[in-house]
Structure 1
Amino acid sequence: MGSLKRIKLTLLKFLYNTNYQFCYYIFHPRPKRVTFATIRNTQLVDNLKQLYETFEKKGDYELKIFCFHYDRSSKSRLQFFWVSLTAVYYIATSHLFIIDDYFFPLYSLNKHKQNVVIQLWHAIGTLKKIGLSLPNASDSVIKPHTNYDWVVVNTQEDRQAYVDAFDIKKSQALPLGSPMLDTLAKTTTSLAPNHKKRLLYSPTYRTDDANQVRTAVDALISAAPTLNDNWEIYISIHPYVNMKKNIQDLPKNIHLFQDPALVKRLMQTVDAFITDYSSLLLNFSYFERPILLFTPDYQDYAKQQGFYVDYLQYLNAPNFQTAPAMIDFINNKLPKINLDYVRQLKQKNFPKQDGRNSDRVYQFLTSINRYGEQKL
């Protein structure tokens, strides 16, 4: 890390923490204030949305929302600096502060135990490494993924990976089920007869921004005209990827978008899901439809990011290094594909299908006293 960046982070850490301590002692934590915060989107989606609605229906709480779409552009970085001061105020004055991803200002704080922070991580399963499991993740002046009191995970098997990723005790990883899966439990798994065929492609986020993503997307678009049938193709770009320079001249059957809420709604309507390393494939396994892997940079990604599992063996899904090979598979083998590998993924990642994950999380969080001393 360069000396200039270290100085900048040191100043930010001082500024955020000073603001936090001021707000804490002047305005004080409010026992009924619950704040839902994200920098992934301009509105609550998935776990946060589901749990917010549960709090709204079941409890008498002062509910606050902090949303900002951070896409790593220069404009976004500058805007986030100012709005993050508001976020620090909400941390200081909330009894429960609930997030779903990386939340930079939080990691600068000498947090008081009266402010209880819950990480509702936006993804299920433990495929690619995240957080402090990544190489050199804890070397920064501001150590990421700290100050979590509780982390909600989907299954018992997920707990150890999140312990490693977030530097918490195993007792702090709560296998209560992912709230966003409650919606799937109420969703039909069958497609309408004579529906129009749809593919959904969702490449994951990479630290080198849009370069790898753009290359893969271009390859799929170039190969798409060789599809035998009249497919509609939906391409979902990760919310952190800066795609301001849109890919031009898209065919009418190809739809490029950047909306985490839309990709979840589309899942129930598509015939097959394509990704490289996105955990969304685990969500999609619920529908028991084909999952294909398009991983032209697998060796590099495995070296730089890493996995908690033997990725290709764990998924046992058809895997392709080139777009033409994948299109050929879709044309000739997809209609007769054996879906046992998808059913096995569903069995591993959906142990609770009662639609009550959000209720379980709500019941636990509302049992915590204002000093955060509740134990599992």
Structure 2
Amino acid sequence: MGDLKRLKLIFLKFIYNTSYQICYYVFRPHPKRITFATMRNTQLVDNLKQLYETFEKNGDYELKVFCFHYDRSPKSRLLFFWYSLISVYYIATSHLFIIDDYFFPLYSLKKHRKNIVIQTWHAIGTLKKIGLSLPNAQNSVIKPHTNYDWVVVNTAADRQAYADAFDINRDHVLPLGEPMLDVIAHTQIKLTPKHTKKILYSPTYRQNDSKKVLAAVTALIKAAPELKEDWEIYISIHPYVNMKENLHNLPKNIHLFQDPARVKAMMPTMDAFITDYSSLLLNFSYFERPILLFTPDYQEYVQKQGFYVNYFEYLNAPFFQKAPEMMTFINEKFSQIDLDYVRQLKHKNFPNQDGHNSDRVYQFLTSINRYGEHKI
């Protein structure tokens, strides 16, 4: 890390923490205030949306929403500092501060016990490494993924990985089921025999390497005409990817978008899901339809990011390093795919299929006292 960047982080840490302490002692935490906050979307989606609606329906609370989409563009970088200061105010004045992703300002604070932070995360399962499990993550001036009081995960098998990733006691990692999966549990669309076939492709985000993502997207688009049947192809670009290199003049059957909420909404209508390392494949396993892996940079990704599991062995899904090979597979073998590997993923990652994950999380959170302790 360069000296200039280190000085910048030290400055930000001082400003954020000073602002937080002032807000805490001047405005004090509101015992009924619950803030739902994200820096990955302009509105609440997934876990935060489901939890907000559950709190709104069931209790008498002062609900606040903080949303800022940080996309690493020059404009977003300028606005980030201001919105971070706003978020610090909400942390200082909230009883519960509920987030779903990395939240930079939080990690600068000497947090008080009466401000209780809940990390719900935006993904399920333990595939690619995250948080403090990543190489060199512990070495930053502002240590990431700290100040969490409780972490909500989907299954008991996820607890240790998230405890390590978020530097939190394993007893504070709660396998209550992710609230966003309630939507899936209440949604089941049967595809008619003569429907137009659809593929959803969602490459995972690579920090500071949007070119790698766009190269894979371009390779898939170039190979798509090799498909013999008529397929509609939907390509979801991660919200953090800055689309500097716009893809123009796309074929009519290829649809490109950046909207995490749309991805989840589209899943029930898709015939197949393609990704490299995105945990969205675990969500898609619920529908027991084909999952394919397009992994042209697997060896490099293992070195930079790594996995909690033996990736290909754990998933047991068809995988390809080159897009034309994948198109040939779809042409020749798609209709004969044995979906047992998908059913096994579903069994591992959907222990609760009753549609009441949000209720379980709500019941736990409302039992936390003003010092962050579970009262029951």
Equivalence for 2:24: 24
1:21, 1:300 → 2: CA distance?
43
1:133, 1:190 → 2: CA distance?
39
On the 8 A contact 2:235/2:257 being kept in 1, the answer is: yes
- How far residue 189 of structure 1 moved from its aligned partner, in angstroms, is 4.7
Q: % of aligned pairs identical?
A: 76
Equivalence for 1:171: 171
Equivalence for 1:197: 197
In the alignment, structure 1 segments of 5+ residues that lack a partner are none
1:9, 1:375 → 2: CA distance?
37
On the 8 A contact 2:189/2:269 being kept in 1, the answer is: no
Equivalence for 2:100: 100
2:218, 2:20 → 1: CA distance?
45
Structure 1 counterpart SS, 2:270: coil
Amino acid paired to 1:123: A
- How far residue 209 of structure 1 moved from its aligned partner, in angstroms, is 3.0
Equivalence for 2:335: 335
- How far residue 240 of structure 1 moved from its aligned partner, in angstroms, is 0.9
Question: Equivalences for 1:89-128 in 2 at 5 Å?
Answer: 89-128=89-128
- How far residue 74 of structure 1 moved from its aligned partner, in angstroms, is 2.0
Equivalence for 2:292: 292
Question: Equivalences for 1:1-376 in 2 at 5 Å?
Answer: 1-374=1-374
2:77, 2:233 → 1: CA distance?
32
On the 8 A contact 1:209/1:242 being kept in 2, the answer is: no
- How far residue 100 of structure 1 moved from its aligned partner, in angstroms, is 0.1
On the 8 A contact 1:189/1:286 being kept in 2, the answer is: no
1:254, 1:359 → 2: CA distance?
38
2:189, 2:118 → 1: CA distance?
31
Structure 1 counterpart SS, 2:200: strand
On the 8 A contact 1:92/1:115 being kept in 2, the answer is: yes
Structure 2 counterpart SS, 1:370: coil
Instruction: State the Cα deviation string for residues 195-231 of structure 1 (Å, max 9, x = none).
Output: 1100000000001331101110000000001101110
1:208, 1:40 → 2: CA distance?
16
- How far residue 190 of structure 1 moved from its aligned partner, in angstroms, is 2.2
1:193, 1:34 → 2: CA distance?
47
On the 8 A contact 1:190/1:287 being kept in 2, the answer is: no
Structure 2 counterpart SS, 1:138: helix
Structure 1 counterpart SS, 2:329: helix
Instruction: State the Cα deviation string for residues 7-30 of structure 1 (Å, max 9, x = none).
Output: 000000000000000000000000
Instruction: State the Cα deviation string for residues 136-181 of structure 1 (Å, max 9, x = none).
Output: 0011110000000000000000000001100000101000000000
Amino acid paired to 1:229: E
- How far residue 36 of structure 1 moved from its aligned partner, in angstroms, is 0.2
Which stretch of structure 1 is more off in the superposition, 95-104 or 205-214?
205-214
On the 8 A contact 1:125/1:349 being kept in 2, the answer is: yes
2:373, 2:347 → 1: CA distance?
34
On the 8 A contact 1:107/1:142 being kept in 2, the answer is: yes
Amino acid paired to 1:270: M
2:262, 2:213 → 1: CA distance?
19
Structure 2 counterpart SS, 1:264: helix
On the 8 A contact 2:367/2:375 being kept in 1, the answer is: no
> 4+ runs of 1 displaced by more than 4 Å?
none
On the 8 A contact 2:296/2:320 being kept in 1, the answer is: yes
On the 8 A contact 1:155/1:176 being kept in 2, the answer is: yes
- How far residue 77 of structure 1 moved from its aligned partner, in angstroms, is 1.2
Structure 2 counterpart SS, 1:24: helix
Amino acid paired to 1:6: R
Paired residues, what number? 376
On the 8 A contact 1:118/1:149 being kept in 2, the answer is: yes
- How far residue 314 of structure 1 moved from its aligned partner, in angstroms, is 0.1
- How far residue 234 of structure 1 moved from its aligned partner, in angstroms, is 0.2
Which stretch of structure 1 is more off in the superposition, 366-375 or 296-305?
366-375
1:118, 1:374 → 2: CA distance?
13
- How far residue 191 of structure 1 moved from its aligned partner, in angstroms, is 1.5
1:74, 1:138 → 2: CA distance?
27
Call closer, same or farther: CA 1:306–1:375 in 2, change over 3 Å: farther
Amino acid paired to 1:197: K
2:192, 2:62 → 1: CA distance?
42
1:219, 1:193 → 2: CA distance?
30
Instruction: State the Cα deviation string for residues 106-149 of structure 1 (Å, max 9, x = none).
Output: 00000000000000000000000000000000111100000000
